[in-house]
Amino acid sequence: MVFKQNKMGHGADDLGTILMKAFVNTLPELNYKPKTLIFLNTGIYLALNDSPVIEALKNAEKQGVNILVCGTCLNYFGKKDDLGVGIVSNMYDIMECMSKADKVIHP
């Protein structure tokens, strides 16, 4: 599952924030867990300490979900020290993970 932004959909940003929060908060409750969550571009904001979904992501990680966060993106936004969950990753590892997946979902 690849999070390319911190909002879901296009249009009303407030609604997009609400939808993304509901989506991520549902992840730990699923019977089938995604193997890996990847955060790119503004999606990295979801994995930061002050994220409204940080607890859900920490729970998912505790349940065995791998969380990869783009290091280039963290550096670009000056947020590397604010990472709250997951590991800092690079594009090679992200591409390798995506290429091995049966299906890639972009919420």
d(CA 74, CA 57): 17
Q: What is the pLDDT of residues 7-38, one digit of tens each?
A: 999 999 999 999 999 999 998 888 888 999 99
- H or E segment at 89? strand 87-89
* Domains of the chain: residue spans and CATH: 2-100 (3.40.1260.10)
Query: pLDDT band at 58, cuts 50/70/90?
Result: very high
Predicted confidence at residue 29, as pLDDT, reads 84
Cut 0.85: pTM above it: yes
Predicted confidence at residue 30, as pLDDT, reads 86
d(CA 55, CA 78): 22
SS3 content of the chain, % helix, strand, coil (to 5): 50, 15, 35
Predicted confidence at residue 32, as pLDDT, reads 87
- Arithmetic mean of pLDDT, 34-61: 97
